[in-house]
Amino acid sequence: MTFGLSDPARRRRRRLWGRVARFLFLLACLLVVAVFSYRVGVERAQEDVGGLRTRIAALAGTNARLARERDQAVAERAAALARAKAVQARYDREVPTGPSKALVALLKRRLAEGVPAERLGFVIGAATAEAKCDADTVTKRFIVQTPLYNGPNGAVSFGDNAITVTGEGESARDAGGNPEAWYDPAAPVTLHFIHVGGEAMSVNGKLPLHHSVVLGDTEYRFTVLEGARGFVKVAANRCAYP
C-alpha cells in the first residue's frame, strides 16, 4: 500500500524537475540568443561607426579642398579686377577722347598730307589760349553768281589782295516758280577762297559760313552772312598765327 502511494509522488517530482529542466534549457537558449544578438549588434554598430568616421573624414577633406578652391577663386577674381582696372587706367591715359581725339585725327591727316612733324610741333607749341587779332573787323560784300547772273561785283579781296573770295548759289524763284537773277539765301551756297599763287579752297553750305585761311604767320578768319538781295557780307578778322 505504501509503495503505491509513493510512486505517484515520485512521478510528480520527476515531471516537476523535467519542467524545471526544460525551463532552464529554454532560458539558456534565450540567453544564448540574446548574447549572440547583442554581439552581432555591437559588431554592426562598430562597423557603422567606422563607416561614418570614414565618411566624415572624406567630407572633411572635400570641404577643405572646396575652401582652398574658393579662396583661390576669390584671389584670382581680385587679381583680374586689378588687371582690368590697370588696363582701363592705361586706356584712359593713352587713348584720346573728345577734343584730344579730334586733334590727334587732325595731326594724322596733316602728317599724311606731307606737313613736317617739326612744323606741326612748332605750331602747337607756339599756340596760345587767346588769339592775337586786330581790334577792327573788315567787312565787304559781293554779288553771288547764279545761273542767270555772271556779272560784275562778284568778288572781294582781303590782305592787300592776298585772298580773293567769290561764290555762287542757286537762283531764287518768284511766286510762280520762275528763276530769278539773284541767289536764294535759304539754299546752300559755294564760296571760293583763292590765295596768291592760285591755290583755292571751297566751302559749301547754308549761310552763315565760317572759314579761315593761313598765309605765313597770319590767319584770316572769315564769316559770311546774308546781305542785301543778291549780296553776301564777308567779315574778315586778321590774327597772328600760330
CB atoms closer than 10 angstroms to residue 104: 13
Based on the domain organization, do 79 and 138 belong to the same domain?
A: no
- Identify residue 191 by its one-letter amino acid code: L
Q: Are 137 and 237 in contact (CB under 8 A)?
A: yes
All three cell numbers of 21, joined, read 529542466
- What is the structure's pLDDT at 20? 81
Based on the domain organization, do 104 and 43 belong to the same domain?
A: no
- What is the structure's pLDDT at 6? 61
Based on the domain organization, do 176 and 202 belong to the same domain?
A: yes
What sign for the dihedral angle of Cα 80, 81, 83, 88?
Answer: positive
- What is the structure's pLDDT at 142? 97
Q: Are 107 and 120 in contact (CB under 8 A)?
A: yes
List per-residue pLDDT tens for the chain, 242 residues long.
444 556 777 788 888 888 888 888 888 888 888 888 888 887 887 877 777 888 888 888 888 888 888 988 888 888 888 888 888 888 777 777 777 777 778 778 878 878 788 777 766 766 665 668 888 899 999 999 999 999 999 999 999 999 999 999 999 999 999 999 999 999 999 999 999 877 889 999 999 999 999 888 899 999 999 999 999 999 999 998 87
Inside any domain, residue 7: no
Q: Are 49 and 57 in contact (CB under 8 A)?
A: no
- What is the structure's pLDDT at 38? 83
Counted domains in the chain: 3
- What is the structure's pLDDT at 130? 66
Dihedrals phi, psi of 9, to nearest 5 degrees:
-65, -40
Inside any domain, residue 9: no
Phi-psi region of 63 (alpha: psi -120 to 50; beta: other; left: phi over 0): alpha
Give the integer Cα–Cα distance in Å for 222 and 237.
7
Based on the domain organization, do 89 and 121 belong to the same domain?
A: no
CA distances, 131 to each of 123, 124, 126, 128, 210 (Å): 13, 13, 11, 7, 17
Based on the domain organization, do 195 and 105 belong to the same domain?
A: no
Where in the sequence is the domain holding 187, given as residue range(s)?
131-240
Based on the domain organization, do 108 and 147 belong to the same domain?
A: no
Inside any domain, residue 14: no
- What is the structure's pLDDT at 145? 97
* Length reported for the chain: 242
Give the integer Cα–Cα distance in Å for 45 and 23.
32
Inside any domain, residue 26: no
CB atoms closer than 10 angstroms to residue 185: 19
